[in-house]
Amino acid sequence: MSDSPDEPLGPFQEIWEAWEEAGAEIAAKPLSHFRRATDIQFDELEQHLAAGDTEAAAREAVDLISVALNTLRQLGCQPDEIAEIARKRARQRMSGQALAILAKYQQQYGI
């Protein structure tokens, strides 16, 4: 299924657009801001799971996507570029390699 040219990020286009008003501020943030934001979102996700609230945990997972999109925004990427980067990454790095990636993370990082 291809995305509309007006919405290259599919269901995540609205998240991208919601953050447009903060584009200049996001561009000025250091990479450490996004690392910390990710940590915060994972902490919140874990809190919701501990409370048995998977719906709230899922919303936090969407917030993680928001942080990823804003990291790409900070890097100067636009939605059409992000869509192409994601497609290429999936084809070249992930397709047919998911189990090997998991094994690598287990071996190298113990996770």
Q: Which two three-digit tokens encode residue 111?
A: 């996770």
Q: According to the model, what pLDDT value does residue 1 have? A: 43
What residues contact residue 85 under an 8 Å CB cut-off, 6+ apart? 72, 77
Q: According to the model, what pLDDT value does residue 45 have? A: 98
Mean pLDDT over all residues of the chain? 95
Percentage of the chain lying above the pLDDT 70 cut: 95
Q: Residue 27: helix, strand or coil by DSSP?
A: helix
pLDDT tens digits for 32-84?
A: 999 999 999 999 999 999 999 999 999 999 999 999 999 999 999 999 999 99
Q: How far is residue 17's CA from residue 75's CA, in Å, rounded to a whole number?
A: 16
Half-sphere exposure in the Cβ direction for 109 (13 Å, CA): 6
Q: According to the model, what pLDDT value does residue 6 have? A: 79
- Does 97 have pLDDT greater than 90? yes
pTM for the model stands at: 0.90
